[in-house]
Chain A
Amino acid sequence: MKFALQRCCVTSVFLKQYEAATDAVLAKLGIELEEVREFNCCGYPLKNYDFTACALSSARNLALAEKRSLNILTLCNCCYGNLKHIAHVLKDNASLKKEIDTTLAKEDLTYTGAVAPKHLFEVLYHDVGLDTIKQKMVKTYRNLKVAVHYGCHLLRPKDVVQFDNPFAPSIFDQLVGITGATSVPWSTKLECCGAPLWGVNDELSLDLTEKKLADAKQAGADYVCVICPFCQLQFDRVQRILLSRRTSAAAIPSLVYTQLLGLSLGLDEESLGLGMNELPAETIHQFLGTPEEAQAAAPVHG
C-alpha cells in the first residue's frame, strides 16, 4: 500500500502538529508514502478566481502521481474535494481537458485518469480496516465524548466525492468509535466550520464558528475532533481569537483525528504535537486507559 502524499499548504508552518501526528500515525500503520517534491497547491483557493488555473493545479498533481503510478493520499478535505472535483470535470469536459493537456505536455506530463485521489479516511477505513487499527491499539478512551466534525468537502457534493452518505455519514464516527470514545450527536455536525470566510468576512466566519462550537459544547462533548487542517486551524487558532473578541463564546478544545488515534496507538504526546495546540489538550490523558481498565470501568454516560 503505497501513496503519493499530497500535503496541504497550510500545515507546514501553521499546523506543524498536524504533520507530526499524521506522519507518526501513518508510519505506525505501515502506510508507505512517497513525498513528491514537485506537487503544487491543489488549486482550491483559486476556485473563486480562475477555474482554469484551479483545474491546472489539481491536474498537474494528478499527472505527477500518474507518472509514478501511485494514487494520491490527501489529508486535507479541501485538497481532496478539489482533486476529486477536477478529476470528475476532466472526465466529461473535453475542451478543458485539451487546454490542460497542452500545458501539462510542456513538462512531459499526462493525466488519463489512471490514478485517483484518496482521503486519509478512505485509506484507514477501506484499505487498512478498522480491525487492523484496533489490533495495534494499546490504550482506549473511557468516558470521552467527542463532537465529530466531518468537514464539507469530505461529504459534498456526493456525486463527486462518493465518500459516505452526505446526510447521515458514519465512517468518521466509526473511526472515533474504535478508540473507545463516544461520538455525540449534535445538530450542526455536518455544517461548515467557517474557515473559507476567515480573512474575507471575519464577523460572518466567527458567527458560524461560534455557533458550531457552542452546539458541540451543549451536546456535552469534551473535544471537537476534525481531520481537515482548515477546520483545525479554525477550531483552534481562530477559536482563540474568537474567545478574546466575544467573551460569551464557549471554549472547547479541538483535536486532529490523528492526534486522538495516535494516543491510543501508544504514540507519545510530543510526537503528536499535542503541546502545539493553542487550546490546551492535556485533559485528554484523563480519559486514556488500557483496554482492560476501560472494560472494568462502568459506563458513566447513559
Chain B
Amino acid sequence: MFYRASLYVALAIFALGLAYKVFTWFTYRIGADAAGISAAARVGAALQGMVRTLFSGKIVTLLRAFFLDAILQVKAYREDRLRWLMHTLIFFGFMLLLLFHALEKYVSVPLFAEYQPTVNPFIFLRDLFGAMVIVGVGIAIYRRFFLKLSHLRTNSQDQYAIAILAVIMLSGILLHGAKIGSYTRYEEMVQEYAMNADEEDLKGLEAYWVEYYGTVSPKAKGPFDAATIERGKLIHEMSCLQCHSRPQSAVLSYGTALLMRPVALALDRAHVPTILWYVHFLACFIGLAYLPFSRMFHIFATPVSLMANAVMEKKTSAPANIATRQVMELDACTHCGTCSARCSVGVVFETIPNLNILPSEKIGSLKALAAGKELSPQQLKTILQGMYLCTNCYRCTVACPSGINLQDLWFSARETLLARGYPEFLVLSPFSYYRGLATEGLNGARYAKASEIARDGILAGVNVAVVRDLSSPLALGDSALKSKLEASFQAQTFSQCYRCMTCSNACPVVRNYRTPQATLGLLPHQIMHAVGLRLWDLVFSAGMLWDCLGCYQCQEQCPQSVHVADVLYELKSVAIARAREKVSAETGVKV
C-alpha cells in the first residue's frame, strides 16, 4: 500500500516536472533575438520543424545522432576515455536494471518464459548490471574528488547525482546480500512452498540451504552429515530449485552476504532487510520524482539536443526554433567539464578568478539568466566579463559530448548583457573581433554602443573637468603611480622620451586624422610627456590609448629606445584598474 502510494506520488511529481521543463523550453529566453518571439509561435515553429525533418532525408542524420552520439557517446570517447567508460557503465547498467529489474513485470516476464529474478542467468545479470553502475559511480567519485583536475568543478547537482545513484545501487546490493542470509526470509519461503514436508525433511532442507545458499540459521550450524544434506537436497529439488539458482552467481551480493554473515542473525532480527527494501525503493522514487529538476534530466534533454543540433543550422533554421533549442541546451548540459578542459582561455582563470570564464560554469549563470532570476549588478558584471573573455575558437562547441552549440549561447547572452549598459572593458580589446565579424547580423545602434559605454566607463576614473577646461591650473597627480610605472618593465622607458615626435609621426592612427588631437586627446609623444608630468587625468582620458593598434611603428622608430607601444599597453591596464576602483568606491559594486 505504502509502496504503491509512494510510487504514484513520485510518478505524478515526475510527470508534472517533465511538463514544467518542456514548458520552460518554450517560455524562457536567451538573447535579444528570442525577445520578440511568443511562446505560441515557438511551439508552432517546433512542431512544423519536427514534421518537416521527419519527412525529409534528415531522418538518417537524426538516427545517427541518436545512436552514435547519444547512446554510444562517440564524442565523449574521443575526448576522454575514462569519462566515457564511466558514463557507459552507469548508463547501460542502469538502463538494463530499469528495464529488466524495476520494470520486470512489463519486460522480463513477458519476454522470457522461464523468468524468475532468482534463477540464472537473471540473478547473475542483475548483480552484474548493479556492479557496472557501482564501478561507474566509483570512477565518477575518483574523477571529481581525487583526480584534482583544475577545470573540473563539482557543484551540488553533481554531488546529488552521484549520491542518489550510489544510494540506489548500494541499498540494492545490501538488500540482496541481507536477503541471502535472512532466516526470516527462509522461513517465509518454507511456509509458502514446503508446507507438506515433515520435520526431518525440513531439517535436511535447512542444512542444505545453510550449506549451499548462504542462509544463516540460528539452529542449524554445520558441519552436516551427508545423509541430512542428501535428504535436504531431495526436498530442495522438489520445492526450491525451479526458482532458485545458487546465490554465488550474484558475485557482489553474495560477497556482501558473506561479509554480513557474522551479524546476519542480529540484522535479521532488527528487520534490516525490510528497512533496506524501504531505502531501496524510496531512493528510486525520490530519484524519479526529482529527476526533471536535477542534472539527471539530461537523459531526456541531451539526446533531444544532440538530434536537434544535428539537423539545425544557424543560417537556415527558424529563429523561433533556435530560441527554443538554446533553452533546451541548458538542460542538456551534464556539467562534465569537457568544454572547460578544452577552453582556449580557461588558463586565465588562474589569474582572473571569475568562474564564468570556464564554459562549464557559464552554463549555470545562463540558467539563472534564462529563468529571469533577479541578479545583482555585481553578478551581471561578473557574468559579462566571463562571457566576453572568450576567443570564439569554438573548441568548447566542437568538444561538447551533449552537442550543445555553446558558442552561440555565449554570443546570444553576451549581446543581452551588453544591452544592459554595464561597461565591459574587454570590449576595447581584440576579443571584440568576433563581434565585429558578426556586425551585419546585429542591431547597429546597440552594436556600436558597447564600445562607447566602455570608453565612458574608463572616464569614470578621470576628473573630466580638468581635461575639458585647460585654463584651470594643471595639478601634478599621484607620484606613487609614477614610481610604479618607473619600476614596471613594460612602462619604465617613458622617462627616456625627449619629445621629438617621431612616434606620433610614425603612428598610422595619428596620420589618419586631419586634426588628430581633437579625436585622440593626446598623441603618443604627449602621453609619454604627460606621464612624466603626472598629468593622469589627461593621460587616462586620451582616446589614443584605445585607438592604439599595437602595431609598434612608434616603438620601432623611437631614437631614444622608448618602448612607446608597451608603455601604452601598460597604461591601458592601469586605466582599467583605476576606472574599476573608482566605480567600486562610489557604488560599492565591484566591476
Contacts and interface: CB of A to CB of B under 8 A. Distances in A.
Contacts of B343: 40
Most buried by A among B346, B350, B437, B547: B350
Interface string B537-556: 00000000011011111011
A57 interface: yes
A92 B549 contact: no
A198 B553 contact: no
A211 B513 CA distance: 13
B436 A199 contact: yes
A192 B551 contact: yes
B38 interface: no
A231 to B, nearest CB: 11
Range of interface residues on B (Cβ < 8 Å): 35 or more
A29 interface: no
A53 B439 contact: no
A230 B347 contact: no
A198 B428 CA distance: 10
A93 B426 CA distance: 26
A268 interface: no
Nearest to A166: B556
A51 B552 contact: no
Nearest to B352: A53
Contacts of B106: none
B443 interface: no
Given A12-B394, A13-B393, A50 B546 contact: no
Interface string B335-361: 000000011111110111000000000
Interface in B556-585: 556, 563, 565, 569-570, 572-573, 576
B6 interface: no
A249 B235 CA distance: 101
Given A41-B345, A49-B573, A103 B350 contact: yes
Interface string A190-229: 0110111111111011011001000000000000000000
A106 B508 CA distance: 43
A202 B448 CA distance: 9
Most buried by B among A44, A48, A107: A48
Contact of A200 (B428, B512, B552, B570): B428
B429 interface: yes
B72 interface: no
B247 to A, nearest CB: 47
A47 B394 CA distance: 21
A13 B394 contact: yes
A41 B393 contact: yes
Contact of B432 (A44, A92, A200): A200
A76 to B, nearest CB: 12
A208 B439 contact: no
B347 A152 contact: no
B249 interface: no
B150 A107 contact: yes
A157 interface: yes
A228 to B, nearest CB: 12
Interface in A18-55: 37, 40-41, 44-53
Contacts of B395: 12
Nearest to B433: A199
Contacts of A60: 347
A56 B346 CA distance: 11
A49 to B, nearest CB: 5
Contact of B439 (A45, A153, A195, A241): A241
Nearest to B558: A157
Nearest to A85: B566
Interface in A147-183: 152-153, 155-158, 166-167
Contact of B430 (A13, A45, A93, A241): A45
A4 to B, nearest CB: 16
A276 interface: no
A269 to B, nearest CB: 24
A9 B391 contact: yes
A93 B549 contact: no
A186 to B, nearest CB: 14
A157 B552 contact: yes
Given A156-B556, A157-B556, A204-B512, A40 B346 contact: yes
A208 B437 CA distance: 17
Specify the main secondary structure of chain A where it touches its partner: helix
B443 to A, nearest CB: 14
B549 A192 contact: yes
Given A49-B573, A51-B490, A195 B547 contact: no
B345 A57 contact: yes
A233 interface: yes
A46 B432 CA distance: 11
Contacts of B345: 40-41, 57
A195 B448 CA distance: 17
B20 interface: no
Interface string A242-260: 0000000000000000000
Contacts of A93: 489
Nearest to A196: B549
A50 B433 CA distance: 18
A204 B351 contact: no
B391 A157 contact: no
B486 to A, nearest CB: 15
Contacts of A297: none
A117 B393 CA distance: 21
A49 B426 contact: yes
A189 interface: no
A48 B512 contact: no
A156 B350 CA distance: 30
Contact of A241 (B435, B440, B512, B546): B440
Contact of A202 (B436, B512, B555): B436
Nearest to A153: B552
Contacts of A261: none
A156 B549 CA distance: 13
B509 interface: yes
A89 interface: yes
Contacts of B448: 202
Interface of B: 150, 342-348, 350-352, 391-395, 398, 425-437, 439-440, 448, 451, 489-490, 508-509, 512, 546-547, 549-553, 555-556, 563, 565, 569-570, 572-573, 576
- Nearest 9 pairs between A and B by C-beta? A199-B436, A199-B432, A156-B552, A9-B393, A9-B391, A192-B551, A48-B429, A45-B430, A41-B344
Given A51-B573, A238-B436, 5 more contacts: A45-B431, A51-B569, A56-B347, A153-B552, A201-B547
